[in-house]
Structure 1
Amino acid sequence: MNNTMEAGPEPKLGYALFYGSIMALGLPLNAVSLWILLRHHSLKTPSAVFMVNLAISDLLLVISLPMRVYFYATGTWPLGDLACNLIRMLFRTNIRSSNFFITFISVDRLLAVVYPLRSRHLRTACNALKAVGLAWLFVLVTHIPVIVKRSGFLESNNKSTCFEFSQRQPKISAMVYVKPVIVLTMLAVNIVCTTLVSWTLHRHLSDSARVNNKINVMLIFIMNLVMFTICFLPLSLSLLINRTASEPLVCLATVNCCLDPLLYYFSLDAFWKKKEDADLPRE
């Protein structure tokens, strides 16, 4: 097979501009976030562990965007199909791992606010590292069928292109349903966490000195729900119902790498200052 792919569809400058904007925002935001998290917090708390891995996941997505920009700006793909599959897998890695890490952050905040004493033995950096390790392992395992089959959008209309979506519905496989179900399950977990934390904070809202901190706590949960409902849910429902996705939904999903840093910035004291425990204030 030729190493250089043939010309594909016409250039789509709108998509090129969109992905270029995401790259321009996502790269500095996540690079700076990762630097601050590692320099000020290291991996000594579960919150830091989850946020560091979330930033790494977002950077993996960002580094795949330049070739998307090139493809949509020129309508050509200069690399082989192996490179195309690798770049597409970086996108999938971000979507799947971000689901886990965002949910881990929600569960960690739930334990810190609702069960601060009983959860001390659970909320350790060691347990957090085990959780993210399992998450990365799951993500890697889900890539195996793609690597083995080496199939995807490149076969559409017998043209050698990349990132183009075939109009044919793919063959039904277990993973077609497993991935959306996981996203829906994690969305449900985030909703439950948000509800329980909101109820707990409402009961102890009398301490006016801590109102701002409590707002910051809720903003984290709200941002998690926003990312699930706007970035992940539409793409997952499309995969579940139609067994395929559209480029606008993929565009929407990439926005998450620009929203994730807001999770860190909502708690400026815990984010900018080095502390032994970066937990948010709790009752």
Structure 2
Amino acid sequence: MNNTMEAGPEPKLGYALFYGSIMALGLPLNAVSLWILLRHHSLKTPSAVFMVNLAISDLLLVISLPMRVYFYATGTWPLSDGACTLITMLFRDNIRSSSIFITFISVDRLLAVVYPLRSRHLRTACNALKAVGLAWLIVLVINIPERVIFSRFLESYNKSTCFEYHHNHHHPHHNGPVIAYVQSAIILTMLAVNIVCTTLVSWTLHTHLSDSARVNNKINVMLIFVMNLVMFIICFLPMSVGLLILGTPALTPLVCLATVNCCLDPLLYYFSLDAFWKKKEDADLPRE
């Protein structure tokens, strides 16, 4: 049962070090970001609602990393099967929820830049709360069959293979591939929406805000979209595609790469909030 765990201490220790570094960076960055968001914005704007939920999603991932560090450092799993399932779901939920919340941020910025007047009745905190509520519901619904599949896997295999699920149990008579298709469909759909949003906003800024006085504002706005695309292309897309084509330990580095998003998201907050504060101040000024 434990043969798959004996691939050698170096890659395991490397994974432990990697997850430890992500945890050391992600925990303070996201905790401080969440504190700033709640202190200065509460849940009064759509952007704040989306970012608060994104920060919560990242913190849920970060708190699951210590056990990944222990697992890859020792090659053993000391807790129950239920704990293994919970920690695994926290990781997968983060990938799905983060991709959705990042897309919400892109759509919100698209509406603010391209349709500033027509979208005012849509861009409310109430609608944003409904959207994130629906997103969490979708994530939890996907969790139901996934938890059943993972629990059956743990019953059949030694629990020391906790985080090696896709490597050891990728058989066609199980429903794992179905979940992989759902995961990939979500990521690819969200990526497509982000690409469309980026294209439309870039075109609008280029054609309607060409004066040099607004160059800084254009850069700030586009940085948000660039960061969103970077996170999809680097963090979410490789692992989602890998779920479809890889049934080997080659998937593990992609899982590591996916966790980097919890350290990149705070950069998105900083770029976004700077632009949001300026726009809010400008909106509050009387127009001549």
- Return the alpha-carbon distance in structure 2 between the equivalents of residues 99 and 137 of structure 1: 14
Aligned residues of 2:146 and 2:179 also touching (Cα < 8 A): no
Question: Does the C-alpha gap of structure 1 residues 41 and 81 become closer, same or farther in structure 2, counting only changes over 3 Å?
Answer: same
- Whether 1:249 aligns to 2:260 is no
Question: Does the C-alpha gap of structure 1 residues 149 and 236 become closer, same or farther in structure 2, counting only changes over 3 Å?
Answer: closer
Question: Could you list the per-position Cα deviations for residues 229-262 of structure 1 after superposition, in whole angstroms to 9, with x for gaps in the alignment?
Answer: 1101011111233477711010010000000011
> Aligned residue for 1:238?
242
Shift of residue 176 of structure 1? 2.9
Greater CA drift, 143-152 or 175-184: 143-152
- Return the alpha-carbon distance in structure 1 between the equivalents of residues 82 and 157 of structure 2: 18
- Return the alpha-carbon distance in structure 2 between the equivalents of residues 231 and 64 of structure 1: 18
Shift of residue 205 of structure 1? 3.5
> Aligned residue for 1:33?
33
Q: Tell me the amino acid that sits aligned with residue 186 of structure 1.
A: M
Question: Does the C-alpha gap of structure 1 residues 181 and 150 become closer, same or farther in structure 2, counting only changes over 3 Å?
Answer: closer
Any residues of structure 2 matched to 1:1-80 within 5 Å, and which?
A: 9-10=5-6, 11=9, 12-80=12-80
- Return the alpha-carbon distance in structure 2 between the equivalents of residues 67 and 148 of structure 1: 21
Shift of residue 277 of structure 1? 9.2
Q: Tell me the amino acid that sits aligned with residue 218 of structure 1.
A: M
Question: Does the C-alpha gap of structure 1 residues 102 and 22 become closer, same or farther in structure 2, counting only changes over 3 Å?
Answer: same
Aligned residues of 1:9 and 1:75 also touching (Cα < 8 A): yes
- Whether 1:111 aligns to 2:111 is yes
- Whether 1:181 aligns to 2:188 is no
User: Which structure features the higher share of helix residues?
Assistant: 2
> Aligned residue for 2:81?
81
Question: Structure 1-normalised TM-score?
Answer: 0.88
Helix, strand or coil at the partner of 1:67:
helix
Q: Give the gaps of 5 or more residues in structure 1.
A: 1-5
Percent identical pairs in the alignment equals 83
Shift of residue 270 of structure 1? 5.1
Q: Tell me the amino acid that sits aligned with residue 180 of structure 1.
A: S
Q: Tell me the amino acid that sits aligned with residue 232 of structure 2.
A: F
Aligned residues of 2:27 and 2:59 also touching (Cα < 8 A): yes
Aligned residues of 1:198 and 1:218 also touching (Cα < 8 A): yes
Decide which of 224, 227, 240 is 1:223's aligned counterpart. 227
Aligned residue-pair number: 274
- Return the alpha-carbon distance in structure 2 between the equivalents of residues 218 and 130 of structure 1: 26
Question: Structure 2-normalised TM-score?
Answer: 0.87
Aligned residues of 1:36 and 1:272 also touching (Cα < 8 A): no
Helix, strand or coil at the partner of 1:164:
helix
- Return the alpha-carbon distance in structure 2 between the equivalents of residues 278 and 262 of structure 1: 24
> Aligned residue for 2:170?
169
Any residues of structure 2 matched to 1:151-166 within 5 Å, and which?
A: 151=151, 154=154, 158=158, 160-165=160-165, 166=167
Aligned residues of 2:114 and 2:201 also touching (Cα < 8 A): yes
Aligned residues of 2:106 and 2:225 also touching (Cα < 8 A): yes
Q: Tell me the amino acid that sits aligned with residue 259 of structure 1.
A: L
Greater CA drift, 10-19 or 263-272: 263-272
Q: Give the gaps of 5 or more residues in structure 2.
A: none
Greater CA drift, 74-83 or 19-28: 74-83
Greater CA drift, 196-205 or 58-67: 196-205
